[in-house]
Amino acid sequence: MAKFEKANSVGEWLDQRLNVKAFNKIMMTEYWIPKDINFLWAMGVLLATTFGILVISGLFLMMYYKPDVNLAFNSVNYTIMQEVAFGWLFRHMHGVAASVVFLIIYIHMLTGIYYGSYKQGREMIWISGMLLFVTFSAAGFSGYMLPWGQMSYWAAMVITNLFGGVPFIGDALVVWIRGDFNVADATLTRFFMLHVFLLPIVIMGLIGLHFYTLRIPHVNNQSSEDIDYDAEAQKYLSGNKKESKVIPFWPVFISKDLAVLGIFLIFYFYLVFFHYSFAMDPINFEPANPMVTPAHIYPEWYFLWSYEVLRGFFFDIAGISAFNLGLMAFAFANGIFFVLPWLDRDSKVLPAHKRPLFFIWFWILVADLIVLTIWGKLPPTGTNAWVGFFAAITFILLFVLLPFITKKDQERRG
Ligand code: HEM
């Protein structure tokens, strides 16, 4: 057994047992971050903070929420919103954070795509990020069900129905997921468990993994320069801080992050106090009613783009039914981002503005995602249906063309 001497401070006592000084060095004071990064690199810390807000506000909501089809709606809309002191505040904080977190996730993902931060050793960062995206999506979907309003019920109905399209086992799968033939009490209680227990735990583990995957390849930078971290760190440690291209995560870099975080929190609380309604669908203030289908059923804004890819195929093509085509396109849209590091055939990490064809590809992707999101909420009739169809086809084509475009960019550079 190791020898322990009398410690002179709490820090020393902990260091003897947990080697906290070495840990502190590796993860904080000698965790090197490039100087050449902008506010977009603060999104990760914003995401971690917003997740923290979701957990804390969620804990307070859970104290009064009742996962029972007869009680859920009133426990949210009456007990929490009207009876519990500051219940409204926690509900608004939770609802707004759930919406805003997706906005930041999308900015964070698009930043990664723009700067090519998913390749050349950063593949695991990307994959762990995508796993976070999928788990956050599941958390968003399960949480939306809990108030048991009309949209909670019918969105759950539509989305669980999609699993019916899985070959051979589809029908049985839908019943298995719902725990009943219909979306019912058993569905609500299992989604409650997922939302308040299993998914948050998985997210915490994935955030740990995501942070760890950053440690070896280091974060990318604005010019995608391949930095010699050892040499630059030496410069910094020997006092040559101005010349060095890197800064330590703690306390230097974190102060930049905290500045961006401060601005974000002002914006976030402004929404919480003055514009929370954007995060709450008016139809969801009516209790769930299996006998009355709302005129238009649509998910929350952050799922609209993939929902529109699903709906875009509204007619049969080559003997394949519109439903099956939509499902395949939906599966494609949700899976394709996972393999992005391998679809990009340009072996060099460069920002999009130094890759002419990729630059155009990137902005068409952004425009297409915006079109899909806007049309995803409109009734899919007449011209709207065709806009949805072309936007869905464009999305698929973009990813089919990506390997050729990226290869061409590399060849042109020589
Ligand atoms: C939702 C929870 C997430 C958290 C808490 C998180 C956190 C972070 C942090 C702290 C960083 C380092 C600094 C920065 O670039 O912001 C980072 C980098 C990165 N994240 Fe995430 N992230 C999350 C989700 C995602 C998602 C959904 C993706 C994409 C699929 C992703 C992909 C990346 C990539 C590629 C980098 C490296 C950026 C670079 O090297 O420049 N992350 N993340």
Tell the residue nearest (CA) to atom 19 of ligand 1. Answer: 125
Closest atom, ligand 1, to C-alpha of 217: 40
Tokens at residue 156, please? 């759950």
Is residue 47 within 8 Å of 101, Cβ to Cβ? yes
* Pocket flag, ligand 1, residue 44 (CB < 6 Å): yes
Q: What pLDDT shows up at residue 2? A: 73
What's the CA gap between 350 and 310, in Å, rounded? Answer: 33
Answer whether 299 contacts ligand 1 (Cβ < 6 A).
Answer: no
Q: Residue 333 in contact with residue 395, Cβ under 8 Å?
A: yes
Contact (CB, 8 A) for 93 and 273: no
Of ligand 1's listed atoms, the one at least distance from the Cα of 105 is 27
Does ligand 1 lie within 6 Å of residue 207's CB atom? Answer: yes
In terms of Cα–Cα distance, which of 269, 225, 400 is closest to 329?
400
Residue 84, both tokens: 């519990």
With a 6 Å cutoff on the Cβ, whether 117 touches ligand 1 is yes
Pick out the chain residues at pLDDT < 50: none
Instruction: Give yes or no for residue 133 CB within 6 A of ligand 1.
Output: yes
Percent of the chain topping pLDDT 90: 97
Question: Looking at residue 1, what is its pLDDT?
Answer: 65
pLDDT, tens only, 208-225 = 999 999 999 999 999 999
77 CA → ligand 1 middle, Å: 35
Q: Give me the pLDDT at residue 414, please.
A: 79
Residue nearest to atom 18 of ligand 1 (CA): 44
pTM listed for this prediction: 0.95
pLDDT score recorded for residue 3: 78
Residue of 101, 214, 218 with the most ligand 1 atoms within 8 Å of its CB, for mutation: 214
Kindly give, in sequence order, each residue whose CB lies less than 8 Å from that of residue 160, ignoring residues fewer than 6 positions away. 174, 177, 178, 183, 187
